[in-house]
Amino acid sequence: MLTFLRVLHVLAASVWVGGTVALVFIAVPAVRRLEGEARATAMGALGRRWRPFGWSAMGVAILSGLWLSDRHGAFTRQALDTDLDRWLIAKSALVVLLCVGAFLHDHVLGPRLQRELRAGEPQAPATRRRLQAVGWLNFSLTIAVPVLGVVILSLVD
């Protein structure tokens, strides 16, 4: 069971990380070359197609990670007693930040920018900068979380 959970966790994290890297370095730069309505339509379609895969992968990674943590006794000891506990708390905090950032990116700032661009509103450039800042923060967290996972794995029996 432990091996199955580890494989499931790594595969789900791979979908999230790999998809994010592909979006950041391949898909989004290609779509940015488009202009006007074609750009907005392509960016919207890209987001709608990725979201079910990305959010599902993140959900599976979170659930399997919690299950793995429980299997290693992380929820039975006093918090902060061991390095494993401290690293799990740090990783969990980053995952929460990543989820909040992804939600803001996908469901608040992204749609807002779409509306502002279509309406030709003057605040669109500021919204775009905020969206990009949240996007880069999310990307950084997407890389940091699996790195912490490797650190944690080194602490497990």
State how many domains the chain has.
Answer: 1
Share of the chain above pLDDT 90, in %: 65
Single-letter residue type at 13: A
Condensed to tens digits (0 to 9), the pLDDT of residues 41-81 reads 898 899 889 999 999 999 999 999 999 888 877 777 676 67
Are the beta carbons of 13 and 61 closer than 8 angstroms? yes
Residue with structure tokens 């960016």? 43
Phi, psi of 25 (to 5 degrees): -105, -10
95 close to 148: Cβ distance less than 8 angstroms: no
C-alpha closest to that of 77 among 86, 68, 65: 86
Q: Is 81 helix (H, G, I), strand (E, B) or coil?
A: coil
**Smallest Cα–Cα separation from 42: which of 54, 52, 24, 27?**
27
Would the pLDDT of 109 be above 90?
yes
CB 113 within 8 A of CB 128: yes
For residue 125, give its domain range: 2-155
- This prediction has a pTM of 0.87
Rounded to whole angstroms, how far apart are CA atoms 41 and 127?
18
